[in-house]
Chains A and B, each alone.
Chain A
Amino acid sequence: MTWEALVFLIFSVITLGSGALVVTTRNLFHAALYLMLSLFGVAGLFVLLTAPFLAGVEIVVYIGAIAILIIFAIMLTPQVMQIPHLRSNQWIAALVAAALFFLMLVSVLTPLAEELGVDNWSAGFTQDDPADVPADTLTTLGESLVDPDLYVLPFEVASVLLMAALVGAAMMVRPEEPEPRRSEPAPVVEPGAEQATTGGD
C-alpha cells in the first residue's frame, strides 16, 4: 500500500464516519461538530487531489463560517435539544432509498460495471495515473477568474448572489420592532438542556 492510498483511506474514513454520525447523532451540537470533522476530511481529500487552494477555502468557508453559523442557529433555537423523536417515521424508507441510490452509483462508477458485462464506458474511471497539475495553478485560477474571456461574468454573478443572500438573510431575521411582540426573542440556550431548569448558574 502506498502512502497515498493510506492517506486516502484515513481521510475517507474520517469523512464518511463523521458524516454518518452527523445524520444519526441525537445531540445537534455534536452533529455540527461531526460535520466540521467530516468537512475537514473532505479538505484532506482535496490536498490529496493536489488542490491545496480549495482545501484552504474549504476550511475557511465551511468550518470557519458555515459550521459556526449552523452552531449559532442551533443555539438560537433552544428546544431542538429535546425532540422526542429523532427520526421521522419513514426513516426506514429513507434508509432503503439512500442505500439503493448508493448501490446504483457504485455499480455505475466502479469497475463492477464491467464485471457485470455492461459497456465499458466507465473505463476512464479506473485511471490511476493522471497527468501532473501545472505548477502555478493558483495564479492561473486567479487570472482566469477576472479574465473577460473566461470566468469574469460568472464571478461577478456569484458575488452579486452572495451579496443578495447576505442582505436577504439580514433583512429576514431583523427584529420586528413596531409590532407588539408575538413571541419572546429566542433566549440563550443552556448547554445540556436537561438540567437547564435547575443548574446553569
Chain B
Amino acid sequence: MVPLWMFLVVSAALFSTGLYGVLARRNAIAILMSIELMLNAALINIVAFWRYQAPENVGGQVFAAFVFVVAAAETAVGLALIILIYRRHQSVIAEDVNVLKW
C-alpha cells in the first residue's frame, strides 16, 4: 500500500483548502461547505491512522462514525441558522450579519 504519510498529506491539503474557503468566502453556505471539507480531512486522518496503526482496534471506525453524526447535526443546525438569518436580513453574506458587533 502507499505509505501513511501520503494519506496525511492529502488530508492536510484538503484541510487547508477548507481553511482557505472558510476565511475567504463571503457566503455563509459556502463557508459551511468549506467546513464540511475540513471535517472530511479529519475523517481521512482518523481512518488512515486506524488502518495503519491499530487495525485490530475497532475504536478508529467508531470515532469516524461519531464524526459523521456530528457533521450531520452541525449541517442541520447551521443551515437552519442560515435560513433564519436570511429571513431577517435578506442576506446570507457572513459580513452583513453584524448586529452583535456593537
Contacts and interface: CB of A to CB of B under 8 A. Distances in A.
In the complex they form, whether A and B have CB atoms below 8 Å apart is answered with yes
Interface of A: 4-5, 8, 12, 15-16, 19-20, 22-23, 28, 31-32, 35, 38-39, 42, 45-46, 48-51, 53-54, 57-58, 61-62, 65-66, 69-70, 72-74, 76-77, 79-80, 83, 85-88, 90-91, 93-95, 97-99, 101-102, 105-106, 109-111, 122, 124-134, 137, 140-141, 144-145, 150-151, 154, 158-159, 161-162, 164-166, 168-170, 172-173, 182-183, 186
Nearest to B74: A165
Contact of A169 (B17, B52, B76): B76
Interface of B: 1-10, 12-21, 23-27, 29-30, 32-34, 36-37, 40, 43-44, 47-48, 50-53, 55-56, 58-59, 61-62, 64-66, 68-77, 79-84, 86-88, 90-93, 95
Contacts of B15: 101-102, 105
Q: For chain B, what secondary structure do more than half of its interface residues adopt (helix, strand, loop), or is it mixed? A: helix
Contacts of B72: 61, 65-66, 162, 165
Given A61-B72, A144-B58, 18 more contacts: A39-B40, A42-B43, A54-B43, A61-B68, A62-B68, A66-B71, A76-B83, A88-B23, A88-B95, A97-B20, A101-B16, A105-B16, A111-B5, A122-B5, A129-B1, A141-B58, A145-B62, A161-B70
Nearest to B37: A19
B4 A158 contact: no
A130 to B, nearest CB: 4
A164 B24 CA distance: 31
Contact of B25 (A5, A54, A86): A86
B68 to A, nearest CB: 5
A99 B3 CA distance: 23
Nearest to B26: A88
A84 to B, nearest CB: 10
B81 A172 contact: yes
Nearest to B95: A88
B92 A102 contact: no
Contacts of A94: 19-20, 23-24
Contacts of A134: 55-56
A90 B65 contact: no
Contacts of B25: 23, 86-88
A135 B92 CA distance: 48
What 3 A-B pairs are tightest by C-beta distance, nearest first?
A94-B23, A23-B21, A165-B73
Contacts of B37: 19, 22-23, 35, 38
